[in-house]
Amino acid sequence: MTIKELERQTGLPRTTIRFYEQEGLIAPERRENNYRDYSEEDAATLEKIKLLRKLDVPLEEIRRMQQGTLTLTDGVRRHIIQLERAQDNLATMRSLCQELAESGEQLASLDAGRWLEKMERMEEGGTQFMNIRKNDIVTRYGGTVAAALVFVALMGGLIALMVWGLTVEPAEAPPLGLMLFLLAIPGVVIIGVLLALWQRIKQIRGGEEDAASKY
């Protein structure tokens, strides 16, 4: 079957199907025209992966199940343990939030050190709180990096267009000087954007009012 038919049968978008294929979780055969030919077995495998991923079973665990180094029963039982730990952590955080809410403290007078010491003792006992460095840095960097990448991609497309203009028949091409000038503009802009992005990242790492830098 085609990937479009596979999308309809499994309910998975083609980007996800391609990702699982790249990860080696499915291996469709190739037709004579080199197009992929997905089988019912591929569809069944994807539905199993979909089920386990909806239960938040890690991809690496699913891979081990496929390879036969981990049984479904053992893998799911291991996942239950992880879920129970996460549930305990959430219950602890909820309890602390409730306690903080009922304390009547205001932000201006909040003794954060006392609460952090309490949380550190809990962490020594195995409780896991939010990794604020990981989450805050991803949040802070994400928009800047994404915007820069989109802009660079657009400029790269413009460069590709200019290069194409240089490769057409001389009679049809614009003047060489104009093409070189237009080609230089996006190149300079891309370098400027990348330098600005690097400077911004250095500022964030330097501690520019970033909560993550305090931990």
Within 10 angstroms of residue 103's Cβ, the number of other Cβ atoms is: 11
The predicted structure's pLDDT at residue 123: 82
Q: What is the mean pLDDT of residues 31-42?
A: 90
The answer to whether 21 and 27 are in contact (CB under 8 A) is: yes
How do the domains of the chain map onto residue ranges?
A: 3-67, 72-124, 132-214
Q: What is the pLDDT of residues 112-153, one digit of tens each?
A: 888 888 888 888 887 877 765 544 444 455 555 666 666 677
> 1.10.1660.10, 1.20.200.10, 3.50.50.60, 2.60.120.200: which CATH number matches 3-67?
1.10.1660.10
How many CA atoms within 13 Å lie on the side-chain side of 124? 6
The answer to whether 156 and 201 are in contact (CB under 8 A) is: no
What single DSSP character describes residue 173?
S
For the chain, what is the mean pLDDT? Answer: 79
Q: Which residue has the higher pLDDT, 49 or 208?
A: 49
pLDDT at 39 over 90: yes
Q: Tell me the Ramachandran region of residue 207: left when phi exceeds 0, alpha when psi lies from -120 to 50, beta otherwise.
A: left
User: Strand, helix or coil at 30?
Assistant: strand
Q: Cβ-count burial of 97 within 10 angstroms (0-12 exposed, 13-18 middle, 19+ buried)? A: exposed
Q: What is the pTM of this model?
A: 0.55
Largest CA distance in the chain: 80
The answer to whether 197 and 145 are in contact (CB under 8 A) is: yes
Q: Can you list the alpha helix ranges (DSSP code H) found in the chain?
A: 3-10, 14-22, 40-54, 59-67, 72-103, 112-124, 132-167, 176-205
Using CA atoms, how far apart are residues 127 and 125, in angstroms rounded to an integer? Answer: 6
Using CA atoms, how far apart are residues 12 and 168, in angstroms rounded to an integer? Answer: 42
N-term to C-term CA, the chain: 52
pLDDT class of 177 with cuts at 50, 70, 90? low
